[in-house]
A and B are shown apart, each in its own frame.
Chain A
Amino acid sequence: MRAFQRALKRTKLRFWYTEGFHPHLYLNFALPLSLGYESLCECVDFRLLEEIPLEELAARIGAALPVGFRVLSAGLPVMKASEIGSADYEIAFSVLGRGEEEVLAAWRDCFGRPEIPVLKKTKRMEQIVDLKPQIAVSALSCEGGRFRFQARLASGCRENINPMLLFEAFFGFSGLTADEISVTRTVVYHENGEIFR
């Protein structure tokens, strides 16, 4: 958030500021990303007070961002952030001291069950949720000892599943521990299944 606000400011373009006691450059991330995750597809809304070709806008913001951030495209908003339905994640991990087949079997066993109850904690409450209906598509593969799990998870303001919940479920069922976990969000979808824009 801060990194983006400051980058936008460095473009020297005129943006819309909030109008309260502490005016700040208005920004809204459609689906904020957890700390430590990578993403290939984040959407952020802001308002400009001047007209500028979209390609030029993308280039100017791209140039102002710190190393590691890339602007994919700029466009007018099509959908509302509140209508986000799901997102694809790619989760890579290793399991020390276990054979490939053993891990794959344990994983299939865990996610092949009719119900996958996990404890979900939020700031307000703790509740048991069933992960099973929240996972739309999933696949697991292994290459050179590194496992790769792809899943489409319920996302957005109504129901949001953090990919780490999958691991908590997996640890709970199998007794195995994963290491070197990295999570990448690859696509965000609208409720109707289209790619979120």
Chain B
Amino acid sequence: MASIPERIFRMVEKPARYTGGELNSIVKNKEDVKVRFAFCFPDLYEVGMSHLGMKILYSLLNKDDEVWCERVFAPDVDMEKQLRDNGLPLFAIESRDGLAEFDMIGFTLQYELCYTGVLNMLNLAGIPIRREDRRGLKNLVVAGGPCACNPEPMTDFVDLFMPGEGEEVLPEIVALYKKAKDEGWTKEQYLAEAARIPGVYIPSLYEVEYHEDGTVCRFLPKEGAPMPVRKRIIKDLDKVFFPENFVVPFIDIVHDRSMLEIMRGCIRGCRFCQAGFIYRPVREKHADTLCRNAHDLCDSTGYEELSLTSLSTSDYSELEPLLDGLLPWTEKEYVNIAVPSLRIDNFSESMLEKITKVRKSGLTFAAEAGTQRMRDVINKNVTEEDILGTCRRAFEGGYTSVKLYFMIGLPTETDEDVLGVIDTAQKVVDLYYSLKDHAKGKAVQVTCSVASFVPKPFTPFEFEPQDTMEELQRKQQLMLHRLHSHKISLDWHNAETSFIEAVFARGDRRLGKVVEWAWKHGCNLDGWDEHFKFGVWMQAFSETGLDPAFYANRRRAFDEVLPWELMDYGVSKEFLIRENEKARNAVTTPNCRLQCAGCGVTALKGGSCFE
């Protein structure tokens, strides 16, 4: 163990965030490995440890005896102070070695508001934040995750991006690194060679030209770098690596349970949902593979809860057989099955019964919008009947509370649509009291969680302006005035946070200097309301001469070159334009299983998505 004195851990809250030693964490002898990889999550331990992708890649990289992958999380402010005051570097949990000792430093970019966290973590380790200031091959900074679909705002800092799924490409770039280290390559040699690996984007190999109005004119790839860079996907999910165990934390984390990924992609094509497009095509794992994975995991971790994760779990075609395969042993072993991401239109009584066998967990449904017209615009394909029918089944099954997700600020939205959110919730309340056999003497509780819409790349709404903050705040107040029942609780996202998220989601390379300025002036952990400094962000824009409204609130013409057109996620722009036009006319598109909408992603898969 290296230079981090024990007393540091006594000075901070929740020391188990940093001390390591958890069950199933992997400690190797650093003399015995060729490549040391630091898997960095630019948020707190409790958030990062809940992330399934990190668990998968951690186990996968450590299968190689020549590689040691360790975990690094963003320290909370108290730990950061201890490190800075004592001149100590940010360290990896397993070895407690400083990050600067690592060959490769990998970040997962889950959310635009973690960008300053990346800079802060590098700086805390004494590593230069800008890629051009890191001259050698060592401390190569790589990144993946959903934000890698438009990595442009982070290209000043990251050497290599991996758009798409990481299980194949990550071991490939690590293998190339081993070779580079053995043969003494320069960083430039390595990057030029890595650019030939499919699904690798090396920002230093591209120039971007802009029009006078600030929009992108064109991208200029150098040294034969690919244009566009096509994302990687795993073709057969049944054969892909899945860990037999998870690191089991000592402290409570956000998702503290066994997690099972049952499918990737989503058949629905909701027009606001980035995940629904960037994770295409839909691929399922077989129920028997999953049942085996699940039992292995519960045995090795001791978790009492198993969550079936996907973008829309009730669309998984083998859900009933899977539950039937799981229940005999989960019930005996007191393992509760959690099924998040249920759709409101296919939630059956038998499923309700199955998932409440051991322990009852909360029910959350995404209605997304308050009127039928609005739900048709976003292609949610859910009716009010579906919403009320599902709530009825839940109430009849003994539930007295439900949570409903909504969004405001959607394209074409009117005040009537906004008020529809509250009206829908009120109908759910009224429904409860109209049922003869609702739980006696108990009041109903309907929680409405209302997010502000953020237009994202690779969705049909990528061309749309975001509502201004003032408009979003006006709509929030509008809802509040409509609300007359104590049975409904209403919460919403901070409009300022959604605004910054919108800027970076569709940002270009020039925003790198905004991230840097904001970080230098104290922005960090921006995803946490208590740390979010909106004033500093606004100052960062004015100091760097960039207009945030240009990125967040501007409508893009269909023929504009968008910064993320450097990437090929399989979904064609023509398809997105078609969907955008259908949205304007409130015309829905059937789900992929009913009818192929021709999004173009079959080119990645080689063949159609469904037989």
Most buried by A among B10, B15, B248, B304: B304
Interface check B135, CB cutoff 8 A? no
Given the complex, which residues of B lie within 8 Å of A7, measured CB to CB? Answer: 23, 302
Given the complex, which residues of A lie within 8 Å of B9, measured CB to CB? Answer: 36
Q: How far is the CA of A3 from the CA of B302 in the complex (A)?
A: 9
CB-nearest residue of chain A relative to B302?
A6
In contact, B302 and A10 (Cβ under 8 angstroms): yes
Interface check A22, CB cutoff 8 A? yes
Cβ-defined partner of B7 (8 Å) among A2, A35, A68, A180? A180
**Least Cβ distance of A68 to chain B in Å?**
6
0 or 1 for each of A112-140: is its CB under 8 Å from B? (1 = yes): 00000000000000000000000000000
Interface check A149, CB cutoff 8 A? no
In contact, B334 and A25 (Cβ under 8 angstroms): yes
Cβ-defined partner of A66 (8 Å) among B23, B304, B333, B334? B23
Cβ-defined partner of A5 (8 Å) among B252, B302, B358, B360? B302
Interface check A171, CB cutoff 8 A? no
User: Given known contacts A35-B15, A36-B15, is B248 in contact with A6 (CB within 8 Å)?
Assistant: yes
Interface check A17, CB cutoff 8 A? yes
Please count how many residues in chain A sit with their CB below 8 Å of the partner chain's CB atoms: 25
Most buried by A among B15, B252, B302: B302
Given the complex, which residues of A lie within 8 Å of B359, measured CB to CB? Answer: 21-23
Given the complex, which residues of B lie within 8 Å of A2, measured CB to CB? Answer: 250, 252
User: Given known contacts A23-B358, A66-B21, is B10 in contact with A9 (CB within 8 Å)?
Assistant: no
Given the complex, which residues of A lie within 8 Å of B303, measured CB to CB? Answer: 6, 9
Q: How far is the CA of A68 from the CA of B304 in the complex (A)?
A: 23
Q: How far is the CA of A24 from the CA of B304 in the complex (A)?
A: 8
In contact, A23 and B299 (Cβ under 8 angstroms): no
In contact, A10 and B300 (Cβ under 8 angstroms): yes
In contact, B334 and A17 (Cβ under 8 angstroms): yes
0 or 1 for each of B9-20: is its CB under 8 Å from A? (1 = yes): 110000100000
Q: How far is the CA of A20 from the CA of B351 in the complex (A)?
A: 22
In contact, A68 and B21 (Cβ under 8 angstroms): yes
**Least Cβ distance of B17 to chain A in Å?**
12
0 or 1 for each of B252-279: is its CB under 8 Å from A? (1 = yes): 1000000000000000000000000000
CB-nearest residue of chain B relative to A182?
B6
Interface check A8, CB cutoff 8 A? yes
Interface check A43, CB cutoff 8 A? no
Which residues of B from 506 to 538 have beta carbons under 8 Å from A? none
Interface check B301, CB cutoff 8 A? yes
Given the complex, which residues of B lie within 8 Å of A5, measured CB to CB? Answer: 302, 304
CB-nearest residue of chain A relative to B13?
A35
0 or 1 for each of B319-362: is its CB under 8 Å from A? (1 = yes): 00000000000000110000000000000000000000011100
Q: How far is the CA of A189 from the CA of B248 in the complex (A)?
A: 33
**Least Cβ distance of B515 to chain A in Å?**
36
Given the complex, which residues of A lie within 8 Å of B333, measured CB to CB? Answer: 9
In contact, B10 and A10 (Cβ under 8 angstroms): no
Cβ-defined partner of B22 (8 Å) among A21, A23, A66? A66
Which residues of A from 158 to 189 have beta carbons under 8 Å from B? 179-182
0 or 1 for each of A50-74: is its CB under 8 Å from B? (1 = yes): 0000000000000010111000000
Cβ-defined partner of B21 (8 Å) among A25, A35, A67, A181? A67
Most buried by A among B9, B10, B252: B10
Interface check A80, CB cutoff 8 A? no
Q: How far is the CA of A12 from the CA of B23 in the complex (A)?
A: 16
Q: How far is the CA of A159 from the CA of B22 in the complex (A)?
A: 33
**Least Cβ distance of B73 to chain A in Å?**
19
Given the complex, which residues of A lie within 8 Å of B252, measured CB to CB? Answer: 2
Q: How far is the CA of A8 from the CA of B23 in the complex (A)?
A: 13
Cβ-defined partner of A181 (8 Å) among B10, B22, B248, B358? B10
In contact, A9 and B304 (Cβ under 8 angstroms): yes
Q: How far is the CA of A2 from the CA of B7 in the complex (A)?
A: 24
Q: How far is the CA of A108 from the CA of B303 in the complex (A)?
A: 50
CB-nearest residue of chain A relative to B250?
A3
Q: How far is the CA of A179 from the CA of B127 in the complex (A)?
A: 31
User: Given known contacts A2-B250, A6-B248, is B302 in contact with A23 (CB within 8 Å)?
Assistant: no
In contact, A12 and B299 (Cβ under 8 angstroms): yes
User: Given known contacts A6-B23, A10-B299, A21-B360, is B10 in contact with A36 (CB within 8 Å)?
Assistant: yes
Q: How far is the CA of A22 from the CA of B303 in the complex (A)?
A: 14
Given the complex, which residues of B lie within 8 Å of A36, measured CB to CB? Answer: 9-10, 15
Given the complex, which residues of B lie within 8 Å of A64, measured CB to CB? Answer: 302
CB-nearest residue of chain B relative to A24?
B304
**Least Cβ distance of A86 to chain B in Å?**
25
Q: How far is the CA of A23 from the CA of B299 in the complex (A)?
A: 18
CB-nearest residue of chain B relative to A22?
B359
In contact, B334 and A23 (Cβ under 8 angstroms): yes
Which residues of A from 72 to 88 have beta carbons under 8 Å from B? none
Q: How far is the CA of A2 from the CA of B252 in the complex (A)?
A: 9
Q: How far is the CA of A5 from the CA of B303 in the complex (A)?
A: 9
CB-nearest residue of chain A relative to B10?
A36
Q: How far is the CA of A173 from the CA of B298 in the complex (A)?
A: 53
Most buried by B among A2, A8, A17, A35: A2
**Least Cβ distance of B94 to chain A in Å?**
12
Given the complex, which residues of A lie within 8 Å of B22, measured CB to CB? Answer: 66
**Least Cβ distance of A178 to chain B in Å?**
11
In contact, B302 and A8 (Cβ under 8 angstroms): yes
CB-nearest residue of chain B relative to A180?
B7
CB-nearest residue of chain A relative to B300?
A10
**Least Cβ distance of A19 to chain B in Å?**
11
Q: How far is the CA of A8 from the CA of B303 in the complex (A)?
A: 11
In contact, B302 and A9 (Cβ under 8 angstroms): yes
**Least Cβ distance of A193 to chain B in Å?**
32
A–B complex contacts, Cβ < 8 Å, 8 sampled: A5-B304, A7-B302, A8-B302, A10-B302, A12-B299, A24-B334, A64-B302, A67-B21
Identify 11 new A-B residue pairs, CB closer than 8 A, beyond the known A7-B23, A25-B304, A35-B15. A3-B23, A3-B250, A6-B302, A9-B333, A10-B299, A23-B334, A24-B304, A36-B10, A36-B15, A66-B23, A180-B7
**Nearest 10 CB-CB pairs, A to B?**
A6-B302, A9-B302, A10-B302, A66-B23, A22-B359, A180-B7, A36-B10, A17-B334, A3-B250, A23-B334
